[in-house]
Amino acid sequence: MDNRFHINHGDPMPIYAQLERAVRFAIATEKLRVGEQLPTVRQLAIDLKINANTVARVYAELERAGVVETRRGVGTFVRTRQNPANMREMRGERDRELKSFIDRMISEAHGLGFSIEELADQLRSRRKQGE
């Protein structure tokens, strides 16, 4: 069984959203590295006890987002990051998206009763776990 991905069937978040988040998290923490092959749709569906169409939907969405690439007859792989020239062009947009994401994360953490310091500690802890 592939233990890089965790799905909580009792969580109100849709299964496809949990799986997409889990794949992105595995890539961000380098549990999945650039060029590494993801499990097949069928195998991941069996391992996680979810519908294969859900896995296929997530893989397709991640491919549209440029996170993974599918090689016909071979499989789905973590895509290489964009080159630095493209990143510079997108930097302003990426900075705005990151700030917006952080605002949402801080707001949600505050609503759950967590301080910014607790949030930062958890982020640092997660980073160390990925190393």
In whole angstroms, what is the distance from residue 72 CA to residue 6 CA?
Answer: 27
Q: State whether CATH 3.10.20.30 applies to domain 15-78.
A: no
The domain ranges of the chain are: 15-78, 84-130
pLDDT digits (tens, 9 = 90+) for 44-60: 999 999 999 999 999 99
Q: How far apart are CA 78 and CA 67, in angstroms?
A: 6
Quick one: pLDDT at residue 43? 95
* Interval 29-46 mean pLDDT: 94
The pLDDT tens digits for 65-106 are 999 999 999 999 999 865 555 556 566 777 888 888 898 899
